Amino acid sequence: MASRVLSGRYELLEKIGDGGMAVVYKGKDKLLNRFIAVKILRPEFTKDATFVENFKRESQAAAGLSHPNIVGVYDVGREGNINYIVMELIEGDTLNKIIEREAPMDYRKVIDISKQVASALRVAHKNKIIHRDVKPHNIMITNDGVVKLADFGIARAVNDATLSTGSKIVGSVHYFSPEQARGNYVDERSDIYSLGIVMYEMLTGKVPFDGDNPVTVALKHINEEIVPPIELEPSIPPALNRCVMKATSKFQTNRYSSADELIEDLDNISFVTNVTGPGLFESSSVAEKRDKRKKEIENEIEEVVEAREQERKRRKRKTTLIIAAIVVLLGAAAAGYALWKIGYFSPTKAAPSLLDCTLEDATQKAEEQGFKIKQGKDVYSSDYAEGRVCIQDPAPGTEIPKESTITINLSKGNKEGLVPSLIGMQEADVENYLKSYGYELGNVKTITSPEEAGQVLEQSPVAGSTLDKESKVDIIVSDGQGTEKGIVPSVTRMSLEDAKEAITSAGFTVGNISYDWDASIGKGYVIYQQYQANSQLDKGTAIDLQVSSGPEPEPEAEPEDSGDSNKNKEKEKEKENTE
């Protein structure tokens, strides 16, 4: 394709990328005289008219998105059987290559990249466009550190085709949301899940789910719990760990409701963890310029301060005599005011601030100021640590009578927490275990199962879910009465003795044995088994077998006709009629 010109305008110069759905070329727009990227769909996708129509419609919609964190789409066209997109040319690397080089990545860099991707998704979602294939391969980082999200049109077209035709899953299942893996309805929270998986991979260097084939990975997204990234990389800030777990919740309702909400949380994490200083992608030359300008500003500030100080001294000399005369008159007034301020002449006094104090410290501080303490109910607070004063009444600074009582409420910590795993525990241990996490035991349902009686089989909400403290967690336990299942062995074409041994070894019994002629299987070998091989069956079940008696023998030749033979035939016929 190199050197080819599409639509008489876009000259293809060299191939720069090769993906599952398209090939990317560096090109030149001969009309506008600028370098571009041209993405050409693979032939297998152009054969599907529905796909091509979806691709064209969604790419045109994506072309209307204008944002620094979205790869610009300039044109969408077709020439012959070639469908192509003309896009902004990005000088930089894809995020998956950066992950290969740097992961586990510095959490501050992860926050910076994630915020930029979320900013791109915010614009797309407000324009009613769901990306559906957020992954490191579709995220570009320019040489200046700007994050660019690409492939809106292709992602939407591929997913529409998948859902409408029922064909095999297309795309990177490592980043699929559970609802995408099921083929269910997706929305902006599906993109947030995929971004959460990307964040997980940046922080740990691994995706949470992997397997031998796409179906295995998709099922893990649906059924298995994600190992918190902080368990793989303990240096990850707990707040960022919670952010990733919330974004990747299996339930859409438990995730961030919008990209705006995710960005706000990332901003708060940046503030709490003191993400300051030069930009994470800042070059050395830019840093030098910044430091130089900082020194210049400091010098300017010092000059202004010095000038103001000189002016102040000049004015002070002029007013010294006046001030000396007034000081004596004001001295008495000032002393009186000071005594009034500290409450010497007043029956009231300002309530001290007891916020963020322990109960012991708050009591001591209040008593030193002449007040009493009353402890109220403990309440949840996201602003103050557990055991610290989070509310006081009256509020700090309020004028109240001396020796008044100040009521304080201690924090119980954050209201939300992560639900622990109960699977495999005994019912008797669950209630106290949940209480240690701040939750209560809800409904307990018993079902028939071969597992040990009382063993927890399922829980709701699932482990790792974000849930308010004091909420209830329901469980399903085993009654221990279930029959153990076994796998039916394949015994056809085995000798009868070997078949019996295989059946009993698998935990079953041999049932009725019948025989029949069969020329294809030797005598004494099994030609039929009652239950299909590899199916599950209660152990102890009897399995009937049919065994070959060998080929059916040839009929004997009839003797020549004679009077005696005719008589015999008549007798046999008479006998058959009688029977």
- The catalytic residues are 133
CB 457 within 8 A of CB 476: yes
Residue listed under structure tokens 């501080």:
365
3-state helix, strand, coil in the chain (%, to 5): 40, 20, 35
Residues in the chain, total: 579
For 31, the 3-state DSSP assignment is: coil
CB 10 within 8 A of CB 38: yes
DSSP type of residue 278: S
Diameter of the chain by CA atoms? 169
452 forms bridges with which residues in the sheet? Answer: none
Nearest to 409 by CA among 395, 394, 388: 388
Q: What is the DSSP string of 158-201?
A: HHHHHHHH-----S-GGG--HHHHHT----HHHHHHHHHHHHHH
CB 498 within 8 A of CB 491: yes
Element (H, E) at 545: strand 542-548
109 forms bridges with which residues in the sheet? Answer: none
DSSP type of residue 253: G
End-to-end CA distance of the chain: 87
Write the single-letter amino acid at 160.
D
For 523, the 3-state DSSP assignment is: coil
Cis status, amide bond into 396, omega within 30 of 0: no
Residue listed under structure tokens 């590899």:
534
Q: Angle at Cα 501 formed by Cα 496 and Cα 507, nearest 5°? A: 130
Q: Give the number of other CB atoms < 10 A from CB of residue 438.
A: 18
Nearest to 211 by CA among 202, 200, 222: 222
Query: How far is it, in rounded angstroms, from Cα 562 to Cα 270?
Result: 113
Query: How far is it, in rounded angstroms, from Cα 85 to Cα 137?
Result: 17
DSSP type of residue 255: S
Sign (positive/negative) of CA torsion 74, 76, 79, 81? positive
Q: How far is CA 12 from CA 6, 95, 168, in A?
A: 8, 25, 32
